[in-house]
Amino acid sequence: MIALKNVSKTYRRGVNTIRAVREIDLEIPFGIFTVIMGPSGSGKSTLLYLIGCLDTPSAGEIWLEGRSLAGLNPNERAELRGQRIGFVFQSFHQISNLSAVENVELPMLLGGTSRAEARGRGRAALERVGLGLRLHHRPNELSGGELQRVAIARALINDPDLVLADEPTGNLDTEAGEQVISILKELKSGGRAPIVVTHNPEFASRADFLVYMRDGRRVDSRDRSGQEVQP
């Protein structure tokens, strides 16, 4: 379970104060596919970064399986991200002179894993997303959809509990986007918590739990049946 209790995030930009997230209460169990939607500037990406320990709340607390993240120091937060959280972004963030499997195994190598183990797990991750025949292709030899599937494989390499995706289909055509949606949705079957921020209405129709945001606030939540869940 991921639980947010009265979470807010405020930024200072010159003399202006930006209230990106305002007093969010939210509980997300593992094993469901959660989608966060809202217009640009609604705070949905900021909320995702707070959940993923890429940023810290200005107020309130975030709990992961009963453990508060508030008291973690920067090293502990980095360790948590490396071991339990996988990230997928709109930009693919891949090193151009490395092959698909080399890009996927890189987080493990940086964490001290042996090259042999990292290569084996990298292959398995790419096979899982349907790229077993593209292991040695470099980014310029892959389509946009394939590049995003490489990014998903990299996010899965350390077998994380949370997989957080920020506009993962934003640069893809309809067919490639559908493939990415299907892969992310399937992750829930392993007991993970895939959480996606998107403008794409196709995600809304596939979500088990849908959260709408506006002006930094959670304004509506609905379960798979379409029934409203109270904020």
Rg of the chain over Cα atoms, rounded to whole angstroms, equals: 18
Which residues lie below 8 Å from residue 20, measured CB to CB, with a gap of 6+?
A: 9, 10, 11, 43, 46, 216
Reduced to 3 states (helix: H, G, I; strand: E, B; else coil), residue 224 is coil
Evaluate whether 35 touches 213 at the Cβ level (below 8 Å): no
pLDDT band with cut points at 50, 70 and 90 for residue 201: confident
Residue 58 confidence (pLDDT) above 90: yes
Identify the residue whose tokens are 């990298």: 122
Write the CA distances from 72 to 9, 69, 78, 191, integer angstroms.
17, 6, 9, 25
Q: How many CB atoms lie within 10 A of CB 223?
A: 13
pLDDT band with cut points at 50, 70 and 90 for residue 226: low
User: What is the chain's mean pLDDT, rounded?
Assistant: 89
Which one of 3.30.950.10, 3.40.190.170, 2.40.50.140, 3.40.50.300 gives the CATH number of domain 2-97+151-223? 3.40.50.300
Model confidence over 155-165: pLDDT tens digits?
988 889 899 99
Structural domain boundaries of the chain? 2-97+151-223
**From 103-107, 211-215, 222-226, the region with the lowest mean pLDDT:** 222-226
Which residues lie below 8 Å from residue 217, measured CB to CB, with a gap of 6+?
A: 22, 23, 24, 43
Model confidence over 166-181: pLDDT tens digits?
988 888 888 888 888 8
Model confidence over 108-145: pLDDT tens digits?
888 788 999 999 999 999 998 999 999 999 999 999 99
Identify the residue whose tokens are 């996988």: 86
Residue 223 confidence (pLDDT) above 90: no
Q: Which amino acid is at 39?
A: P
| Strand partners of residue 68 | 63
State the pLDDT at residue 224. Answer: 62
State the pLDDT at residue 225. Answer: 55
pTM (predicted TM-score): 0.88
Q: For the residues of 99-126, what is the DSSP string, one character each?
A: -HHHHHHHHHHHTT--HHHHHHHHHHHH
- Mean pLDDT for 204-208 is 88
